[in-house]
Structure 1
């Protein structure tokens, strides 16, 4: 049975060095401020990105990796006969998945599986970590792919943004379009649907009501109150993220929690002040 290697893209919001230390390859997306281009996670990220977002005269935009970037990495990883599984950002949010599919087609004699996670941020990064663990333990490519697709289909995502302006400017507002132009001080609560589109849950009045209502929604959507994995991510809102973590762990029993600051790709689309919880129910 061929060795299995795991690859993902940078929009999963874990630091590339962290994933690389676990044997996971990362192909970065690119963020542009005007004519300046930065490789996500490698050349910009964290607080430096949010500082630039707030001060730059240019609104950033993002670009998926080229098919050639994926082809080169696939070629490198499969040169020893290994099977590569690429676990990638939701196809409806980015052209990243399609670039990887095109790259796979350039190497028809290589063992490459491309998975549309239908997720964003830390959730599919966590899936990549679990997939890499399974590969280390000797699981087959089919077993790993089946596990990842099954887990992804069950993921519960709930997040809040300070404003929908960033999602709207970047064309990622999806099925939450009708929330635009809402009342002052109304905070949107959003999710990802089964296809990976951003979708509206509801609006709450005032920031103070966001976290309690998010926890109610998580409780409704995870009735077992047990999870194999929980991820917490935020865009330059560490205090709110800490409160969310404490609240989630008082509600849901889990042995594995991941936390991360939202990187420059997802940060471009949600803006500062986003907090997100993603739960894989047992």
Structure 2
């Protein structure tokens, strides 16, 4: 038995971790009028930011053909089982597409997890599963554990603006307008249903990092956990937060630091800092 870890690019797993755990990545798409770009392949988040606010693209899931091709590649490399991880079905159709294709596979035993999370809130579950496979956990054991493990994963994002979430249909117009008028800076996460909700609202940017760390620390608790630090055109803020994250969650193990993928940047806009947590 040989198990492949399959993720979508919205899981925001770094290339280093993808290579370390031999993960397979299905790419979301970023679509502008002139063409279709493949997430983090022939487009960068910086390009998306540079074209804001004049141009706001749309995003789409990997196509059924792309998922099928990935399944063929996995089989050709001798894998017999697949653990697939997708960003929340409440925010993307990727989970449904992957389920539809993989359930037709006769030569692979597959399990697709709706992480009910976004970005590394989803991706860290795949990393954890890969770690557990290395320790000797079986495919069947992980398929039993993973649905319950979802509740131990969360990503918190401090965002400079609500504009792009509104334009992408992720929040209501009134919330966005009120936030802009009052200079409210939100901290966003995913709820139990895998849709965005506002964790906190901060007046102005000055207290944003402190509140972001406070929310992450409260979720992490006192036990061991994996952590990640992400940003969207917010590298300076992320750098400043790094030592505070390490000292503020002393039982945490910082396994990843990166900029978010273009498909995430489309919906969140510039000036984002995020903390991912997986309780162990």
Task: Report what 1:31 is aligned to.
Answer: 30
Distance verdict in 2 for CA 1:189–1:111, change over 3 Å: same
Structure 1 runs of 4+ aligned residues shifted over 6 Å read: none
Matches within 5 A, 1:1-282: 2-16=1-15, 18-53=17-52, 57-79=54-76, 80=78, 82-173=80-171, 179-182=175-178, 183-224=181-222, 226-253=223-250, 254-282=252-280
> Normalising to structure 2: TM-score of the pair?
0.90
Deviation at 1:46, TM superposition (A): 3.9
Aligned residues of 2:7 and 2:84 also touching (Cα < 8 A): yes
Distance 1:18 1:154, change over 3 A: closer
Matched pairs, number: 276
Q: Alpha carbons of 1:147 and 1:244: their partners in 2 closer, same or farther (altered >3 Å)? A: farther
TM-aligned CA deviation for residue 15 of structure 1: 4.2
In 1, the alpha carbon distance for the partners of 2:220 and 2:137 equals 28
Unmatched tracts of structure 2, length 5 or more: none
In the aligned structure 1, how far is the partner of 2:36 from the partner of 2:128? 32
Deviation larger for 17-26 or 34-43: 17-26
Q: Give per-residue Cα distances to partners, 1:214-265, cap 9 Å, x unaligned.
A: 22223333332x3320111110100111222222211112234311101111
- Structure 1 gap ranges (5+): none
The structure-2 alpha-carbon separation of the partners of 1:137 and 1:243, relative to structure 1 and needing over 3 Å to count, comes to: same
Q: What displacement does 1:178 show?
A: 5.7
Is contact 1:121–1:233 with CA below 8 Å preserved after alignment? no
- Describe the shift of the 1:151–1:245 C-alpha distance in structure 2 as closer, same or farther (beyond 3 A): farther
Structure 1 Cα separation of the partners of residues 246 and 256 of structure 2: 12
SS in 2 for 1:207: coil
Change in 2 beyond 3 A, CA 1:112/1:78: farther
Write the distance in 2 (CA, Å) between the matches of 1:88 and 1:166. Answer: 22
Equivalent residues of 1:122, 1:260 under 8 A apart: no
Alpha-carbon distance change, 53 to 142 in structure 1, aligned in 2, over 3 angstroms? farther
C-alpha distance in 1 between matches for 2:32 and 2:142: 38
Distance 1:53 1:143, change over 3 A: farther
CA contact (8 A) 2:3 2:79 kept: no
Q: Is the 1:160–1:187 Cα contact (8 Å) retained in structure 2?
A: yes
Q: TM-score, normalised by structure 1?
A: 0.89
